[in-house]
Amino acid sequence: MRLLVVATIATAVAAAPVRAGPEAVGTRGSWLALVQGGDESRIVLMRPDGSRRRVLVPAEFGVQSPAWRPDARAIAFVSSRRGNPGIFLADVDNGRVERLVARGTTGRGDPAFSGDGRFIAYTRSFRGSDILVAPADGSSPRVLFRDGRENTEPTWAPDGTRIAFVRNTRVAVVSVRSRRARLLSPGDEWARSPAWAPNGRSIAFVRTPVNSDRGRLAVMRPDGRGLRNLAPHLQDVVDLAWSPDSRWLVFTRRVSPDSELFRLRLSDGVVRKVTRNSISDYDAAWGPPR
């Protein structure tokens, strides 16, 4: 669901103070989609500096997991309207919503488009969670990975050959062709919110000690090597996403009394606050330029 843009990721990131203020970020013309609220939540669009906010999907129960289609014209999201979670598609220009993946008797979640826009990956919950792949219109899905456990949060490699996901509590990668999977992140901690960099060189994720919610930003190569923490002074991270040029990460921090979005510039570790309000902001997706 992301564009392949060549960029350099720094080999080390130093801790940096939080700063605020508008600026040109990432790729010009790009937007953030994020979730605001709690059980009754909505999807909001804004510029990466927090400006020009507007509501795309009004508040309803269980709205979560926005995912940009690569043409930047639509956003897939999860909603629990009238029953189990299903996947819907919202037109970015007019806000019109249509059903993309039926919820059936079990829930659907975690939508992610392939970089060329031809396919969508998502999860299906029933006696664990499975990873499924379907054409972008949601038709004819097939099971990509199933082991009877919790497999969630798929994210595509830019070339479409592999998908990273959370297998139980660790980041794993599965081949779309062979369906063979292997674990990448360490087994002595928990991982969530994996995100494959648009330039293909790294997978970022949130790592926490076992039975802890002290989330830290981390990045590793797609083979699992080179694991390192980013901005190690931050230990309250919940989720993350890449900018289209692979130079920034946007992420959620639990900041009392709610949660806010922040950005990290990988070249120098500078952290900037994106949102500042009295409602929880989280689950951001950084879209391609439009």
In this prediction, residue 189 carries a pLDDT of 96
First to last CA, the chain: 14
pTM for the model stands at: 0.89
Question: Please, are residues 184 and 162 in contact by the beta-carbon 8 Å criterion?
Answer: no
Q: What is the pLDDT along the chain (290 residues), one digit of tens a residue?
A: 333 222 322 323 223 333 434 445 666 789 999 999 987 899 999 999 999 999 999 998 889 999 999 999 999 999 987 677 899 999 999 999 999 997 766 789 999 999 999 999 999 998 899 999 999 999 999 999 999 999 999 999 999 999 999 999 999 999 999 999 999 999 999 999 999 999 999 999 999 999 898 999 999 999 999 999 999 999 999 999 999 999 999 999 998 888 999 999 999 999 999 999 889 999 999 999 98
Q: Hey, is 239 helix, strand or coil? A: strand
Give Dmax over CA atoms of the chain in angstroms.
Answer: 48
- Long-range CB contacts (< 8 A, 24+ apart) of 34-40? 34/66, 34/261, 34/275, 34/281, 34/282, 34/283, 34/284, 34/285, 35/63, 35/64, 35/65, 35/66, 35/281, 35/282, 35/283, 36/279, 36/280, 36/281, 37/63, 37/279, 37/280, 38/280
Question: Please, are residues 282 and 259 in contact by the beta-carbon 8 Å criterion?
Answer: yes
Spatial strand order of the sheet with 18-19 comes to 18-19, 271-273, 258-265, 248-255, 237-242
Nearest to 45 by CA among 91, 110, 99: 91
In this prediction, residue 60 carries a pLDDT of 85
In this prediction, residue 11 carries a pLDDT of 29
* 238 burial via Cβ count (<10 Å: 0-12, 13-18, 19+): middle
In this prediction, residue 65 carries a pLDDT of 97
Token reading at 193: 């919110």
The whole-angstrom separation of Cα 52 and Cα 182 is: 42
Parallel, antiparallel, or unpaired for β 151-156 and 162-167? antiparallel
> How many residues are given for the chain?
290
Q: Name 8's Cβ contacts closer than 8 Å, sequence gap at least 6.
A: none
In this prediction, residue 105 carries a pLDDT of 64
Q: What is 77-128 written as a DSSP string?
A: EEE-TTSS-EEEEEETTT--EEEEE--TTSEEEEEEE-TTSSEEEEEEESSS
Q: Name 178's Cβ contacts closer than 8 Å, sequence gap at least 6.
A: none
In this prediction, residue 7 carries a pLDDT of 31
